[in-house]
Structure 1
């Protein structure tokens, strides 16, 4: 993010009002803009120069060039380290990176092998995205990373296989209801494992705390309570994002297979499924990302007692 560029002058968070949900939606639509995947090293170098000029007072007010530079950095680099996030794991690549694995998981008639493979692929991608974009206050060891990865994959595959065995055995349920429930099994697996995934991959933050800052932007300490809220909201945002993507396309596809797609080739049905997933993903992503602000205030009394008596650089509580 642009905030990784040093300078004495604070940057405006966004050209939009982030205190409102609509403002955050518009902001998130910018950072998840897939055209930002075309950002080059030259673009990033120029963007850093523009942002640095603003932070040192050489640019007095935000210009269109400033906002474009900020968009390049916000969608491409990590806010803590300033390093470029690997391309498939950037927010601007979110929909495209998830498209193939989502299509795989939502393919009707997957057997045990197919279910295991696509759940593994999805959780592998999630782990990579979470790791690449995690708060860098504390780094996770390779052993911790692999242990948590194994747990997330196990949770995902366990839920998917468990529900696959339960749904066909349900009694007093119509065949159509069983069909719909079967199509929603990937959603249940993704949501369950997604929550486990986030808390495992970012558990280090909860154990050791994340940095909290005063109103001047100066760090005043670490807080486990703030970390729990931050990671919890991240997990919830994953659920909010997954719900429409994993629910709407399969339900529409069931309807289409009984109508317009009846008797059509597997290729045609797969193409229709891909289109439904892509359209839903691009439409809902900014709404899911915008639910919670990236930085937010918390009353000091809700933090650890050792932070209650802290003073800022102006010797104010």
Structure 2
């Protein structure tokens, strides 16, 4: 994040209005732009230098080239450490890193061994992404990381296998003239429920994963800062203050909770829309004549859904969250900045 670049002058947080949902969606789309993955180290260094010049007053105002430099830094650097996030775990790489794993989990007719293998793979990716993008003011130990991973895998595999068996054992009612006869579910409903089992596993394990991976933040708290006044020429500044007011557990609970909700919002369309569309397409004559197209069509549906779903989910909450100082622990009361508010990095 560009906010990690030092300097007495604040950078505008975004060219978009982050007080609105659609403004945050557009900003998130910039963070998730896969084109930033091809940024060279020299370009990144030049971008940091340009933004540093602005923060030290050498450049009077934001220009298109400075906005491009900020986009590169926002998509590449961690807001707390100022160092590049490992490339596969950046949000700009999420669509690609998540594509193969999601396609694997959504394969129709997976065996129990296949379900477990893909759930383990998915949780491994989740652990890496959560760890790489979490608030770094309260880092987790390797023991905590290992424990979180094992519990998240247990949760996802337990839900996936358990629900899979439950759905498989559902009684199917007879259908006569298009109407259900007797007790049980229709064959179509049973198929739909079976296709949604990976969604239930991913959502439940995702919540567990975020809570466990970032449990250290809740236990120790995260750094909060007084909300700073914007520039006279730009009312969207975000530069982090030099010193923290201290660590707040209430801020950490809010940050982790919002992140868990955003993960559910992200997983829902990706894990629900493609399998239901694929099931519908498999009933068409075109797909019946080309059964081998099921996998590439599935990957295409997941990719197309992910492009839109990720910014929509990330835009649900601001990454740099501002709350009333009096809503936190007593030691922060009366210490807020603009509008008596403090701010903190929510993490992604």
TM exceeding 0.5:
yes
CA distance in 2, matches of 1:266, 1:134: 42
Residue 260 of structure 1 deviates from its aligned partner by 4.2
Q: Aligned residue for 1:281?
A: 306
Which residue of the other structure, out of 331, 337, 340, is the alignment partner of 1:306?
Answer: 331
Alpha-carbon separation, structure 2, partners of 1:266 and 1:118: 22
Q: CA deviation at 1:219?
A: 2.0
Moved more, 260-269 or 96-105: 260-269
Give the equivalent residue in structure 2 for 1:219: 244
2:235 paired residue number: none
Residues 325, 335 of structure 2: 8 Å contact kept:
no
1:296 CA drift (Å): 2.1
Unaligned runs of 5+ in 2: 172-183, 229-240, 343-348
Q: Is the 8 A contact 1:261 1:269 kept in 2?
A: no
Q: CA deviation at 1:309?
A: 4.7
| Corresponding pairs, count | 313
**Within 5 A, what are the aligned runs for 1:73-222?**
73-171=73-171, 172-216=184-228, 217=241, 218-222=243-247
Q: Is the 8 A contact 2:325 2:336 kept in 1?
A: no
Distance in 2, Cα, partners of 1:28 & 1:311: 27
- Asked whether the 8 Å contact 2:224–2:248 carries over to 1, the reply is yes
Deviations 1:53-90 (A, max 9, x none): 00000011001111011011100111100111111100
Whether contact under 8 Å (2:155, 2:208) holds in the other structure is yes
Query: Could you tell me whether the CA contact under 8 Å between 1:5 and 1:82 is conserved in 2?
Result: yes
Q: Provide the residue aligned with 2:52 in structure 1.
A: 52
* Residue number in structure 1 paired with 2:236: none
Q: Which SS does the other structure have where 2:84 is aligned?
A: coil
| CA deviation vs aligned residue, 1:257-285 (integer Å, no higher than 9, x gap) | 11144424443111111111100111221
1:256 corresponds to? 281
Q: Cα RMSD between the aligned structures?
A: 1.4
Rounded Cα–Cα distance in structure 2 between residues aligned with 1:266 and 1:211: 54
CA contact (8 A) 2:9 2:57 kept: yes
Higher relative contact order (CA 8 A, sep 6+): 2
2: CA distance, partners of 1:160 / 1:167 = 11
What stretches of structure 1 of length at least 5 have no aligned partner? none
SS at match of 1:117: helix
1:297 aligns with 2:322: yes
Report deviation, 1:311.
7.5
Find the counterpart in structure 2 of residue 228 from structure 1.
Answer: 253
CA distance in 1, matches of 2:318, 2:336: 25
Range that drifts further, 295-304 or 20-29? 295-304
* Greater CA drift, 72-81 or 301-310: 301-310
2:185 and 2:148 map into 1 onto residues whose CA distance is 37
Distance across 1 between alignment mates of 2:336 and 2:33:
40
**Displacement of 1:215 after TM fit?**
2.2
Partners of 1:143 and 1:231 lie apart in 2 by 20
2:246 counterpart SS class? strand
TM-score for both structures, normalised by structure 1: 0.96
**Inter-partner Cα distance in structure 2 for 1:283 and 1:81:** 29
Secondary structure class of the residue paired with 1:11: coil
1:55-70 residue pairs with structure 2 within 5 A?
55-70=55-70
TM-score normalised per structure 2: 0.88
